[in-house]
A = this chain, B = another copy of it.
Amino acid sequence: MMKETDICPRFEKAISILSQRWTALLIHQLLTGQKRFGSIKTSVGISGKVLSERLKEMEKQGIIKRKVIPETPVIIEYSLTEKGISLEPVLREVEKWSQEWISADET
């Protein structure tokens, strides 16, 4: 049988990035400014292991950048790249949708 609707590969890739667990939430946090590992971990509630994995993936995808500050102990600042910042409209639409369609008792 043939596929009746061919999905655009760019769109499919975008969805695969954004529907990776935690990724959208991490971008959302970084939209408020650069953040450190421990701060992200605490505010998002993700495990160190998966956070570390995600940050590496997102860096490879060009969505975030990692800045090492050689203090003691070392400080690492994570921030969005231009590509990452450009996801803001997507998250804004999710936010709008959630305000309109998610009721208090289903949170």
Contacts and interface: CB of A to CB of B under 8 A. Distances in A.
Contacts of A92: 93
Given A10-B107, A93-B90, A25 B15 contact: yes
B86 A90 contact: no
Interface residues of A, number: 50
Interface string A22-52: 1111001100100000110011100000000
A89 B19 CA distance: 16
Chain A interface, >50% SS class: helix
Contacts of A32: 5
A42 to B, nearest CB: 5
Contacts of A55: none
Interface of A: 1-5, 7-15, 18-25, 28-29, 32, 38-39, 42-44, 61, 83, 86-87, 89-90, 92-102, 104, 106-107
